[in-house]
Structure 1
Amino acid sequence: MHRAILPISDQIGLENPIISYNGGMVKHPRTGEVIYHTPIQAADATALVEYGDQKGLHLNFCLNDQLFIKEYNQWSELYEKRTGVSATALGNLHELDGQEPTKMQILDTPEKIDLLLTECKTEFGERLYVTRTQVEYIEFMNPQVSKGRALQALADQLGIPNNRIVTFGDGYNDESMMEIAGFSVAMGNSVDQIKAIADYTTDTNQNDGVALAVEHLLL
């Protein structure tokens, strides 16, 4: 979520637009200007809420950079701990029918997510972008959304050619942005698929991998 990135952005003094929601939004942290936003269509969001209710699943509903859930539980606690974003429990997510969220998520055990991922891609894959970003997360976005599309939109607005773009990634959802960049860096903790397409592999995120790559490649 955009709001989850702001504490880090503020800490390091960024004055540049932020790509968030797996590429679903590009927004400026200072002015609040939304440069790019491609939400889930309302009918698809309602269908996903219905699916979650039928399966008894925990759903995150990200709307207007706010997080809504049905009820507080271990999964809302996990997400809040990881992101610093507090959720609002509605008791019934169908209260949001007709709204267009930027992103929705299912959270469950890694074993359950393994089973659900294929089912979700079969059920929703023709109308939503379905991806796994953490072992406990399945994320759903508009099918036009990717980090690569958002990065391209931002680069075009700023007048930066692709061969002057450097990307850092570690997960499956980073592949699209790494493919359009002039140079791509995989973190040491990356999945093998990302390491295979990267131009360079640095240390892990826990060991200052980005800083080490910047020092080695740019400075």
Structure 2
Amino acid sequence: MNNNDILRRLRYTFEFGDSKMIAVFGLGNLKVTREQISDWLKKEEDASYKECSDLQMAIFLNGLIIEKRGKKKGSPPEPEDKLTNNIIFTKLKIALNLKAEDVLDIMDLAGFRISKHELSAFFRKPDNRHYRVCQDQILRNFLKGMQLKYRQKDREVSEKEDIYKGKKIDNKNDQGDARQVKNTSEVKPIKFKYKSVEEIQKNKEK
């Protein structure tokens, strides 16, 4: 999938404003500007559109993991230069502290069903014989399900539709579930380790 599209979907799902987006990149140790955020979120046909690189996307996802799960001791993991749908899927699963059953439930919200066995193949190492490439369709449906689960307005609409259909609503794993995500309403000041992607790449070469 296109990194810019994924970034737009995640911003929409979690209702992140520009300041929060900047803070999440900061948690991944990269300082970005409001203008950069704006250019990444624009449509491709816009003259100001800028491509979000794999490295920048990896930094954002690493920051999202810290934002949702809290910071661990030591430095954040080094961002990948090359991303795949499998890596993105895995990072989102970690960020939201999801078990296999949780992921399947989210996929089901999007009207897409796969088996637990099929799902586990996406999270294996590429050299594992059971590894399976995560196609765009899989990741796209997961992101759609995430939107229905975590975005307040869309979740309310989805629940009303389920009630109309006579389904029982289970809110135990909603956005407020402390097991899955921590409260993200407050953003603490960030000390940036890097001011550009170039600095990160130079550090990798050392």
TM-score normalised per structure 1: 0.27
User: Relative to total residues, which structure has the larger strand share, 1 or 2?
Assistant: 1
User: Relative to total residues, which structure has the larger helix share, 1 or 2?
Assistant: 2
TM-score normalised per structure 2: 0.28
**Greater RCO between the two (CA within 8 Å, min separation 6)?**
2
